[in-house]
Amino acid sequence: MTPGWRFRGACRKGGGPAPAFPGRPGLPRRHPLPFELKTLRSRNRLHLRVWGHPTAEGAFECASATIAELAKLPAGYDVLSDVSGLASLPDSCLPQVDRLTSFLVASQFGRVVRVCGPASDVILKLERHARAKGYAAHLATSLGEAEALLDDRR
Q: Which residue has the higher pLDDT, 20 or 128?
A: 128
- Residue 85 pLDDT more than 90? yes
Residue 9's pLDDT is what? 52
Does residue 13 form part of some domain?
no
Q: How do residues 56-70 score in pLDDT, each as one tens digit?
A: 999 999 999 999 999
The answer to whether residues 18 and 61 touch, using CB atoms and an 8 Å cutoff, is yes
Does residue 112 form part of some domain?
yes
Query: Could you give the number of structural domains in the chain?
Result: 1
- Residue 22 pLDDT more than 80? no
The boundaries of the domain holding residue 39 are 30-151
34 closest CA partner among 60, 55, 15, 8: 8
- Residue 49 pLDDT more than 50? yes
Does residue 2 form part of some domain?
no
* Mean pLDDT across the chain: 83
Does residue 84 form part of some domain?
yes
Does residue 15 form part of some domain?
no
- Say which CATH number the domain at 144 has: 3.30.750.24
The answer to whether residues 119 and 88 touch, using CB atoms and an 8 Å cutoff, is yes
Cα Rg of the chain, angstroms = 15
Does residue 40 form part of some domain?
yes
Does residue 8 form part of some domain?
no
Residue 18's pLDDT is what? 45
